Amino acid sequence: MIEIKDIYKSFDDKQVLKGITSTFKEGSCNLIIGASGSGKTTLIKCMVGLHEVDSGEILYNDRDFANLDFHERIPIRKEIGMLFQGSALFDSLTVQENVMFSLNMFTEMPNSEKLDRVNFCLSRVNLENVNKKFPAELSGGMKKRVGIARAIAMQPKYLYCDEPNSGLDPKTSIVIDNLIKEITEEYNITTIVNTHDMNSVMEIGDNILFLHKGEKWWEGSSKDIRHTHNKELNDFVFASKFFKEAMESNNL
């Protein structure tokens, strides 16, 4: 479980996060949504230690990450998996080397065990016979799946996904969403997804945090979001007339 309490963050004199509090449970997909500039990326960067908060607490199973120093944070960092926007694979490494990267960096596992783990993770994301390929030889959807395999290689307790659907066609987006949801539930991971994708919001959002101008404006499930009267949230979710009509005509 991750709890964030009263998070404030400013850049120079501009306040970007204004007292964000929430709880993200194990085995659940937590989505952070909001307009461009609302503070989503800043919040996630604070949570993984790429930015320091001005004040507030970030509790990973009761360990306050925000108030630990670099060395004290290392054990928590090892429990975090990240799926980056654009997959961020190393172009000069094969798929196998990419997935093995953190195992090489952070474990003393023998090679055969690392290879078993890599093969397990690749088959979990339904990729086979791609070990020796380079990222340039893969489609966007395959790269995302390699990114997921790499993110779960260390058996993370916490998984961050930054815009996992960016650049993917709608069908492939659904495959990736479903994979994230399945893995979250299967391994009881606390997953946090930063997304603009309304289909993801409706399909995999166990808990949705809507940020508006740096504040937590609304929080609820994908069921709640369909019936909310929050104006800013409605304007954001139903910005597309077609999406709104499709939801209404299907009685969703």
Residues engaged in binding ligand ATP (CB under 6 A): 11, 16, 34, 36-42
Q: Nearest distance from residue 106's CB to ligand ATP, in Å?
A: 27
**C-beta of 38 vs 87, nearer to ligand ATP:** 38
Comparing CB distances to ligand ATP, the nearer of 36 and 112 is 36
- Name the nearest CA neighbour of 232 among 34, 42, 32, 31: 34
**Which tokens belong to 55?**
């004040």
**Does residue 84 sit in helix, strand or coil?**
coil
Q: What are phi and psi of 71, to 5 degrees?
A: -70, -40
Q: In this structure, are residues 161 and 192 in contact, taking their beta carbons and an 8 Å threshold?
A: yes
CA distances from 145 to 86, 87, 148, 170 (A): 11, 9, 5, 15
Minimal distance, residue 98 CB to ligand ATP, in Å: 25
Q: In whole angstroms, how close is the CB of 202 to ligand ATP at the nearest point?
A: 19
Kindly tell me which of 16 and 31 has the beta carbon lying closer to ligand ATP: 16
Strand ranges in 72-228 using DSSP code E only, listed in sequence order: 80-83, 158-162, 190-194, 207-212, 215-220
Q: Which is nearer to ligand ATP, 45 or 78 (CB)?
A: 45
Both tokens of 202, joined, read 């409706």
Closest contact distance (angstroms) between CB of 195 and ligand ATP is 9
As measured in angstroms, the least distance from the Cβ of 50 to ligand ATP is 10
Strands (E), 72-198: 80-83, 158-162, 190-194
Whichever of 50 and 74 has its CB closer to ligand ATP, that residue is: 50
